Chain A
């Protein structure tokens, strides 16, 4: 093999390489966005967050919005206020097996089982549901919790700031007005099957993600395989220049923002294409 290329051939090879790579990347974008979008969700400031510190870093590059999503986990007292992206209740052993994970019981020895349950994550298609049954269930749980804690507080005389009753009431308010309504409700490998199960393209988006399993230790009944969604790919959505002004003028979309209490003031429509990659197609004040 010889490397004695003329400068002309080197130049041609380099230009071809740059052009071909860009063509493949842009061709993929055209394919993804071609035809009718696979799904399109109208999100509010509750579901899209500006990155922390945006506007403070003058060298931060372009603006991206972060898709805020939750899961509905098993109802647990000790994790009620923080288990938003933990284990979804639908991600059981059967679901993990369908995603290609080995869910057979780990070896008996502790040392072997430790290694055994460190299975690495796999790619999966995740279904995101907007303002659907999962959100309603989360809301109902928050209401039940608030009712119980307030009743308990009234009975014991502990209802002031900082008490469990006040915490539950604040959480309910946030869940009603500020927290995201976007929930991961299913996962699989077959996009068509998932779409058949969730046909409403304005409420359900299929996105790419990664699922990681882990073995929950415990007694015979409690010991089981479970897992969590490690990441939703492309959860950061680039904001093109034409939508920048609208996005920047939106109220700060933080979970505890008081502006959100007045209802959605900002709306951004995110489309998902054939490769499940998102892009913004509209942004502006929400229609009330």
Chain B
């Protein structure tokens, strides 16, 4: 199975279901009238096609199956996290009973074994749920592998460990089409780029979070990745890159717009906060515009959320102390209504119409 063909198979199955519903509507309204032979031929064709797709790709054949799939995805996600935690505590429980050599061997064999098991499961499973569980355990084993080597041999902590962790997570993500592992890999990349950015200014790498601007290069790079590398074959990978990029951009701006003293900029605190407040509004509005132009709903949503957060934090600064609380929340509510009107007008005007990509 390739991730692409599974996605395409599910899409085809969805199209068949929509077609059947629409055809039933049209027949009821007397727009078209298929002969029993035509209807039978179409139904037989679809039945055969759905049976083959279900056999080959474990797709959801109807709405009920889709709901069950959602439940399975949630169970798979929680199970993956729980199994990873289980592996971590398994190591802690029995760790001190082994010699150093045995510990090193166990760590390496665990990482290799769980990785091999992931690929083995992936080759035999079409749904991907168990592959996700196995991949998360493999990633946890590799992270524990390097972390515990550091503990056993008292190795000085280094941000360089984030590179193989990111590479391993991305390898699993792209091989098995797993968004959870993609997110793990992206987090490692964000931490590494931000730590490197911090060390260029002379700080110790672990303190990169104390200067939020360190996150900006990672945000830009992540946003551009799906532009440079086509991700059409992978379900939801492009949006994940963009959402993480925007979070990596807007969260530091939010911090800087309220606590200017943590900035690299050598200006008065008020000036820094004002600069980042304006930047936050401009960039979040720009994200809404760009997302609408490119039909990136996740970019529109993230931009909207942060635009509102920036707006509400300013309202809080200006009016929380001086306004009665009922009036303050009334203003917030009315602002939300105003934003709804504006966005509805923009949608109706077609101003944001554009090419999807």
Which residues in A have some Cβ–Cβ distance to B below 8 Å? 1, 3-5, 7, 10-11, 13-15, 17-22, 25-26, 28-29, 32, 58-64, 100, 111-112, 114-115, 118, 120-123, 208, 210, 233-234, 236-238, 240-242, 244, 275-279
Contact = CB atoms under 8 A, between A and B. Distances in A.
A9 B73 CA distance: 28
B167 A18 contact: no
A265 to B, nearest CB: 23
Interface string B120-160: 00110000000000000000001001100111111111000
Given A21-B142, A25-B146, A29-B155, 14 more contacts: A3-B234, A11-B116, A14-B171, A15-B112, A19-B108, A21-B146, A21-B164, A26-B149, A58-B93, A60-B92, A62-B95, A111-B268, A120-B210, A277-B153
B75 interface: no
Given A5-B175, A18-B111, A61-B96, A237 B145 contact: no
7 contacts: A3-B175, A11-B116, A17-B171, A21-B145, A22-B146, A208-B156, A241-B97
Contacts of B289: none
B294 interface: no
B334 interface: no
Interface string B95-122: 1111110001001100110011001001
B233 interface: yes
A115 B256 CA distance: 13
A17 B112 CA distance: 10
A154 B142 CA distance: 65
A19 B230 CA distance: 30
B2 interface: yes
Interface stretch (B20-28, B201-209, B239-247, B295-303): B201-209
A276 B156 CA distance: 9
B146 A277 contact: no
Nearest to B207: A120
B95 A10 contact: no
B58 interface: no
A25 B155 contact: yes
Contact of B171 (A13, A28, A236, A277): A13
Given A22-B145, A62-B96, A120 B154 contact: no
Contacts of A7: 119, 122-123, 175
Interface of B: 2, 89, 91-93, 95-100, 104, 107-108, 111-112, 115-116, 119, 122-123, 142, 145-146, 149-157, 164, 167-168, 171-172, 174-175, 202-204, 207, 210-211, 229-230, 233-234, 261-262, 268-269
Contacts of A20: 164
B272 to A, nearest CB: 9
A29 B156 CA distance: 10
A62 B269 CA distance: 46
B297 to A, nearest CB: 24
B94 to A, nearest CB: 10
Nearest to A3: B174
Given A15-B115, A115-B261, A242-B99, A121 B154 contact: no
A276 B171 CA distance: 34
Contacts of B151: 61-62, 64, 238
A123 B206 CA distance: 11
Given A17-B168, A21-B164, A233 B157 contact: yes
Nearest to A101: B202
Nearest to B110: A18
Contact of B168 (A5, A18, A64): A18
A3 to B, nearest CB: 5
A60 B93 CA distance: 7
Contact of B98 (A5, A14, A60, A241): A241
A59 B149 contact: no
Contacts of A114: 261
B204 to A, nearest CB: 5
Identify the interface centre among B97, B100, B204: most chain A CB within 10 Å of its CB.
Answer: B204
A112 B119 contact: no
A255 B27 CA distance: 88
A126 to B, nearest CB: 13
Given A18-B145, A26-B149, A62-B95, A240 B108 contact: no
A114 B263 CA distance: 13
Contact of B99 (A19, A233, A240): A240
B269 to A, nearest CB: 6
Nearest to B208: A120
A61 B92 contact: yes
Contacts of B234: 3
Nearest to B91: A61
A277 B155 contact: yes
B347 to A, nearest CB: 35
Contacts of B204: 120-123, 210
Given A11-B119, A26-B104, A118-B261, A59 B89 contact: yes
B268 A112 contact: yes
A59 B92 contact: yes
B260 to A, nearest CB: 8
A4 B156 contact: no
Nearest to B199: A123
Nearest to B97: A241
